[in-house]
Structure 1
């Protein structure tokens, strides 16, 4: 893993407690033998642990195939001390309905779940438990830990949890495969301090935040043209409120390519020239295939040849 870190085993902050999808993502990055795991109560705390120096890295969810971007992560990365993304991993997302032993499905009136888990099981819940009440949880395993912790009364009878949490917390299974989409996946990113950047692999992703150059008609088109004219394909673009007044939005963007690619570098320079704010959040290897083919005329060789031709014009050696 590139980026700055303290000597010794690297410290990773992540959304805990044990058994979360985030922990599954972290295990793809570094095993418990290779790194120190630092569970946090929420994703903002995980990111801030890196800023404060408590952790060297954080692993956080940034995008769900069902719900889109994770707003708390996007907003925390867009402001404050700059951090960068160093890598990404994908985790398939499935859920089970769990409860204490002796609980029947007919006993369930309230279910504790992380908001993203609730959203991914909405149709199943409407079909099987139409009157059930949602009790929000801070993570996918926080309610499982509460159910297994003691016999005291809780404000819910069951919880939507990852299947791995059932054995970990010794809970009974009321239903399996309760997610509405069996192919759901969540993308997690490794967050660290600016430093050495992951090397270009040829299958990379660049993430940045940009503000529009004006509030006039066509401002979004002007911003996107800086990317389109240079053949930079986008795999994600989401608007987020800047927060200082109504109607002002920034854009969180994932672009295909690395900042060392000529087309990406030229596009970033174009954005920097025309937009009031551009925050570069890193270039790193992507884990899935690019969505688009490289457009003719936008390879590194094409940019290099065009620059050499221009230099010849200036020197009077070409026409």
Structure 2
């Protein structure tokens, strides 16, 4: 994707090619269809998060939608790891999708007849309580997505006889639904992100989010506090922070962070400069509008006006 490519949602969005975690009917496709113009654009399902991002990195797709966080399970490790390394990507927007699950089974089966059930690991975690109570005899078999599990249910040679999926994909495939609303948390939501190769940043709206990957350059007492102090000293709130292994050796981690604010905000820009001094390999993944449009509460001494006033005061001192 070139720097001049129109961001998703522009008048030319329908000319773009998107990829997403497939197959058709996933919650990820539902998230993609919330992007203005995506319903008119070419949409290519990918078999995994890595495959979707590789299509963007190789130029076969302009942008990808992948899950990054769930309100029940937290961060989606496959996405956090994939965007932390490799060719730089940029988050253009986030999308929130309410999550509802059904249990589909082969025709004629009752709950007591189910011997094995397949779904994505995050879906299984969100329905585990229901499964333990209603199908305790069933073995769990992981799938690449909820829709992939549902599609596989149509294959008589599959090793499972039930799938946890969205109501939409069960309806599209004409599957027999034996239980509805089986999620353990009624208001579960999954957060998805739209990623491209680096391009122009979305403009600041006052209700924004910035996503970062911060390696821990040296493991010593207070190392994490040094990172967190860069945000707290400037009044930048964190909405998510997770540690992930780098894979290089045991005990080597990076931090995946969502912070409230935009890089154009003085407090955020100052925090990023402080972070870069501590961790020069800091990876900036983008500043973009929050899907919930919630504006942060910024202390008076951390507003852009306060930073400008401090700069003017200091400049006055150096001029004598």
Shared fold by TM > 0.5? Answer: yes
Tell me which of 274, 294, 309 is aligned to 2:313: 309
TM-score, scaled relative to structure 1: 0.94
Structure 1: where are the runs of 5+ without partners?
none
- State the shift of 1:33 in Å: 4.2
- State the shift of 1:104 in Å: 2.0
- State the shift of 1:106 in Å: 2.1
| CA distance 1:217–1:32, change in 2 (3 Å) | closer
Tell me which of 101, 106, 110 is aligned to 1:100: 106
What corresponds to 1:65 in structure 2? 71
What corresponds to 1:52 in structure 2? 58
Question: Does residue 1:129 correspond to 2:167, yes or no?
Answer: no
Stretch deviating more after TM superposition (104-113 or 178-187): 104-113
What corresponds to 2:289 in structure 1? 285
Q: Contact (CA 8 Å) 2:208, 2:295: kept in 1 or not?
A: no
Q: Contact (CA 8 Å) 1:235, 1:291: kept in 2 or not?
A: no
What corresponds to 2:35 in structure 1? 29
Q: Contact (CA 8 Å) 1:96, 1:173: kept in 2 or not?
A: yes
CA deviation map 1:270-301 (0-9, x unaligned): 11112242000000000125485212200000
- State the shift of 1:4 in Å: 4.9
Paired with 1:76 and 1:291, the residues of 2 have a C-alpha distance of 29
Q: Secondary structure at the match of 2:43?
A: strand
Residues 217-228 of structure 1 aligned to structure 2 (within 5 Å): 217-228=221-232
Q: Secondary structure at the match of 1:28?
A: coil
What corresponds to 2:180 in structure 1? 176
Residues 266-285 of structure 1 aligned to structure 2 (within 5 Å): 266-285=270-289
Q: Contact (CA 8 Å) 1:107, 1:157: kept in 2 or not?
A: no
Paired with 1:128 and 1:253, the residues of 2 have a C-alpha distance of 37
What corresponds to 1:80 in structure 2? 86
TM-score, scaled relative to structure 2: 0.94
- State the shift of 1:32 in Å: 5.2
Q: Contact (CA 8 Å) 1:3, 1:192: kept in 2 or not?
A: no
Aligned residues: 314
Q: Secondary structure at the match of 1:88?
A: strand
Q: Contact (CA 8 Å) 1:212, 1:276: kept in 2 or not?
A: no
Q: Secondary structure at the match of 1:297?
A: helix
- State the shift of 1:2 in Å: 10
Runs of 4+ in 1 over 6 A off after TM superposition: none
Question: Does residue 1:15 correspond to 2:21, yes or no?
Answer: yes
Structure 2: where are the runs of 5+ without partners?
7-11
Q: Secondary structure at the match of 1:260?
A: coil
Q: Secondary structure at the match of 1:17?
A: coil
Q: Contact (CA 8 Å) 2:242, 2:257: kept in 1 or not?
A: yes
Q: Contact (CA 8 Å) 1:232, 1:256: kept in 2 or not?
A: yes
What corresponds to 1:194 in structure 2? 198
Paired with 2:175 and 2:117, the residues of 1 have a C-alpha distance of 14
- State the shift of 1:38 in Å: 0.5
Paired with 2:116 and 2:257, the residues of 1 have a C-alpha distance of 37
Tell me which of 137, 150, 157 is aligned to 1:153: 157
Q: Contact (CA 8 Å) 2:21, 2:48: kept in 1 or not?
A: yes
Q: Contact (CA 8 Å) 2:33, 2:39: kept in 1 or not?
A: no
Q: Contact (CA 8 Å) 1:124, 1:178: kept in 2 or not?
A: yes
| CA distance 1:108–1:154, change in 2 (3 Å) | same
Tell me which of 167, 175, 195 is aligned to 2:171: 167
Paired with 2:182 and 2:66, the residues of 1 have a C-alpha distance of 24
What corresponds to 1:258 in structure 2? 262
What corresponds to 2:9 in structure 1? none
Q: Contact (CA 8 Å) 1:94, 1:163: kept in 2 or not?
A: yes
